Amino acid sequence: MSQKLAKPVLRFAPSPNGRLHLGHAYSALYTWNAASLLGGTALLRIEDIDAERSKPEFVAAIFDDLHWLGLDWPEPVMAQSERMDIYADAGNQLRDQGLLYPCFCSRADLAAHAIGLDPEGAPLYAGTCRHMDRGEQIERLERGDAVQFRIDVSGAMARIGMLTFSVVGPSISDRPQIRHARPERWGDVVLQRKGMPTSYHLSVVVDDAAQGVSHVTRGRDMEAGTDMHVLLQMLLGLPSPIYNFHKLILDDNGKKLAKSRHSESLGDLRAKGWTPEDVRRAVGL
Ligand code: GLU
């Protein structure tokens, strides 16, 4: 009996905290091209867990800019802000495994005790609260102290041993290669905090699985972060997609385009008379 192979599913998952720029346009066009090369589907997902920075007008602009680029996706579009209960459940699974612990360190504590830098150059958490005794944890939680919940990465890795994942590239249709994941280089990252049952790492992993994403295409700037995703997939019993890391679009100073650096948005370019073809040409797709 012949087995029916599932169709590849890819996704573009922007955060609506500003207008899209040429870097996003490249990533979106790249993802739709990859989906078509694989004979699969590209989904749009709105990563709006940050309630302060996410704005409905940016969600509307994402839809509008992507349609303008000629891209289409199945409806309904998943929005992470509507899935907090599901992320809370995933956090509880890790808590039940004894792998999520409360941390009461302030920003100053973190900097003072850092044991190096993570792959993004941020202070690497020393694991100070990892061994706090249960009584003190309960007392401080009951007192309402500011708290974040961190994953015990070394504890998790001690149980797992070796962690690997599949990477393809440069082309999405290349043969997958096995790569070792080293989530330890991120230290015990924060997965939940008071009033916020998730973080980028946790929701991305839960949602890629929920949407049946088979191939994750993302910029090289997110290559190292993938190690943490692979660890969470393993712990939550979720399938691990195949990963493909694409180039970044740089500005004239060789820096990655970013909303925080006020890179020109697609809206600005459209107002200047750019066409979708101009965008494709500018990013080389
Ligand atoms: N939401 C993330 C961003 O806008 C990307 C999601 C991912 O590829 O994991 O940077």
Q: What is the pTM of this model?
A: 0.94
pLDDT at 262: 67
Residue 17 scores a pLDDT above 80: yes
**Percent of the chain with pLDDT strictly greater than 70:** 97
The tokens describing 23, both together, are: 């870097």
Question: Which amino acid, 112?
Answer: A
Q: Whose CA is nearest to atom 6 of ligand 1?
A: 13
Atom of ligand 1 nearest to the CA of 219: 8
Atom of ligand 1 nearest to the CA of 218: 8
Residues lining ligand 1, CB < 6 A? Answer: 13-15, 47, 204, 218, 222
Least confident of 9-13, 236-240, 246-250, 259-263: 259-263
| 232 and 275 share one domain | no
**Percent of the chain with pLDDT strictly greater than 90:** 92
Residue 216 lies in a domain: no
| 144 and 274 share one domain | no
Domain of 19, CATH number, reads 3.40.50.620
| 159 and 231 share one domain | yes
Residue 215 lies in a domain: no
14 Cα–ligand 1 center, Å: 6
34: closest CA among 168, 142, 139?
Answer: 168
Query: What's the average model confidence in pLDDT over 68-81?
Result: 98
Omega of the bond prior to 176 within 30 degrees of 0, cis?
Answer: no
Cα 24 versus chain centre, distance: 14
Q: What is the pLDDT of residues 198-240, one digit of tens each?
A: 999 999 999 999 999 999 999 999 999 999 999 999 999 999 9
| 174 and 259 share one domain | no
Query: Domain range holding 135?
Result: 83-210+223-240
pLDDT band at 254 (very low <50, low <70, confident <90, very high): confident
Query: What's the average model confidence in pLDDT over 168-195?
Result: 96
Q: Whose CA is nearest to atom 8 of ligand 1?
A: 218
13 Cα–ligand 1 center, Å: 5
- 252 or 202: which carries more pLDDT confidence? 202
Residue 251 scores a pLDDT above 90: no
| 103 and 232 share one domain | yes
Residue 259 scores a pLDDT above 80: no
Residue 42 scores a pLDDT above 90: yes
Q: What is the pLDDT of residues 84-116, one digit of tens each?
A: 999 999 999 999 999 999 999 999 999 999 999
| 174 and 273 share one domain | no
| 121 and 147 share one domain | yes
CB 191 within 8 A of CB 149: yes
| 54 and 151 share one domain | no
Residue 245 lies in a domain: no
pLDDT at 3: 57
Please state the domain count of the chain. 2
44 Cα–ligand 1 center, Å: 11
Pairing of strands 41-46, 9-12: parallel
Residue 2 scores a pLDDT above 80: no
| 199 and 125 share one domain | yes
Residue 173 scores a pLDDT above 70: yes
